[in-house]
Amino acid sequence: MTFQYNTVAGFDDYAGVFEGTVSVTVGGRGEVALREVGGGITCYGSTQQTGHPGGLQKLGANGTAEVKCSDGRRATATWFQSVEEGGSGVGQDQNGNQLRLRYDLDQSVLEDYKRSLLAASARKAKAPSVAEQKRNKDAERKKAEIAKARQVKEDRQKRIEEIRKRKEQASREVKPEPQVIAEKPKPKSNPPAGNITSGSGFFVSKLGYVVTNQHVVGECKSISVGDSSRKQIAAELVQQDKKNDLALLKISSTKMASADTKSLIRKLGIKVASRNVPLSSDGLLRSEDVELGERVMVSGFPYGEIFSDTIKVTGGMVSAIRGMGDDSGQFQIDAAVQPGNSGGPIYDGNGNIVGVVVSQLNKLKVAKVIGSLPENVNFGIKASTVRQFLTSAGLPTKWSNQSEPLSSGSVRNSVSFL
Cα 128 from chain centre: 28
Q: Strands 345-347, 295-300: parallel, antiparallel or unpaired by DSSP?
A: antiparallel
Whether 80 and 206 share a structural domain: no
Cα 192 from chain centre: 25
> Which residue among 70, 99, 121 closes a domain?
121
Whether 76 and 207 share a structural domain: no
pLDDT given for residue 387 in this prediction:
92
Whether 222 and 340 share a structural domain: yes
Residue 373 lies in a domain: yes
pTM of the shown model: 0.48
Residue 369 lies in a domain: yes
Whether 358 and 219 share a structural domain: yes
Q: Say if CB 209 and CB 250 are below 8 A apart.
A: yes
Residue 66 lies in a domain: yes
Q: Say if CB 349 and CB 406 are below 8 A apart.
A: yes
For 62-87, write each residue's pLDDT tens digit: 889 999 999 999 999 998 888 878 88
Residue 316 lies in a domain: yes
Cα distances (Å, whole numbers) of residue 27 to 4, 6, 18, 81, 224: 14, 20, 26, 16, 44
Residue 47 lies in a domain: yes
pLDDT given for residue 183 in this prediction:
57
> Which residue among 121, 149, 174 closes a domain?
121
CA dihedral 311, 335, 89, 123 (to 10 degrees): -130
Q: Say if CB 227 and CB 308 are below 8 A apart.
A: no
Q: CA-to-CA distance for 67 and 59, rounded, in angstroms? A: 24
pLDDT given for residue 316 in this prediction:
93
pLDDT given for residue 274 in this prediction:
37
Q: Say if CB 298 and CB 283 are below 8 A apart.
A: no
Whether 397 and 271 share a structural domain: yes
For 177-195, write each residue's pLDDT tens digit: 555 555 555 554 444 445 7
Q: Say if CB 77 and CB 65 are below 8 A apart.
A: yes
Burial label for 362, CB within 10 Å (0-12, 13-18, 19+), is exposed
Whether 238 and 373 share a structural domain: yes
Residue 169 lies in a domain: no
Q: Per the structure, how many domains does the chain have? A: 2
Cα distances (Å, whole numbers) of residue 9 to 115, 131, 155, 287, 344: 11, 21, 53, 36, 34
Residue 368 lies in a domain: yes
Residue 189 lies in a domain: no
> Which residue among 70, 90, 121 closes a domain?
121
Range of the domain at 257: 200-417
CATH of residue 406's domain is 2.40.10.120
Cα distances (Å, whole numbers) of residue 173 to 28, 166, 167: 90, 11, 10
Whether 116 and 209 share a structural domain: no
Per-residue pLDDT tens listing for the chain (418 residues): 778 889 999 998 887 899 999 888 877 888 999 999 888 899 999 999 887 765 555 677 888 999 999 999 999 999 888 887 888 999 999 999 999 999 888 888 888 888 888 887 766 655 565 667 788 888 999 999 999 999 999 999 999 999 888 888 887 765 555 555 555 555 544 444 457 788 898 888 877 889 999 999 988 888 888 877 777 888 999 999 999 999 999 987 655 455 655 665 565 555 444 334 445 445 788 989 999 999 999 988 888 778 777 888 999 999 999 988 889 999 999 988 988 889 999 999 888 999 999 976 676 777 777 777 778 889 999 999 999 999 998 888 778 888 777 665 555 545 555 5
pLDDT given for residue 66 in this prediction:
95
Whether 209 and 111 share a structural domain: no
What is the 3 state secondary structure string of the chain? Answer: CEEEEEEEEEECCCCCEEEEEEEEECCCEEEEEEEECCCCCEEEEEEEEEECCCCCCCCCCEEEEEEEECCCCEEEEEEEEEECCEEEEEEEECCCCEEEEEEECCHHHHHHHHHHHHHHHCCCCCCCCHHHHHHHHHHHHHHHHHHHHHHHHHHHHHHHHHHHHHHHHHHHCCCCCCCCCCCCCCCCCCCCCCCCCCCEEEECECCCEEEECHHHHCCCCCEEEEEECCEEEEEEEEEEECCCCEEEEEECCCCCCCHHHHHHHHHHCCCCCCCCCECCCCCCEECCCCCCCCEEEEEECCCCCCCCCCCEEEEEEEEECCCHHHCCCEEEECCCCCCCCCCCEEECCCCCEEEEEEEECCHHHHHHHHCCCCCCCEEEEEHHHHHHHHHHCCCCCCEECCCCCCCHHHHHCCEEEC
pLDDT given for residue 18 in this prediction:
93
pLDDT given for residue 256 in this prediction:
44
Whether 387 and 248 share a structural domain: yes
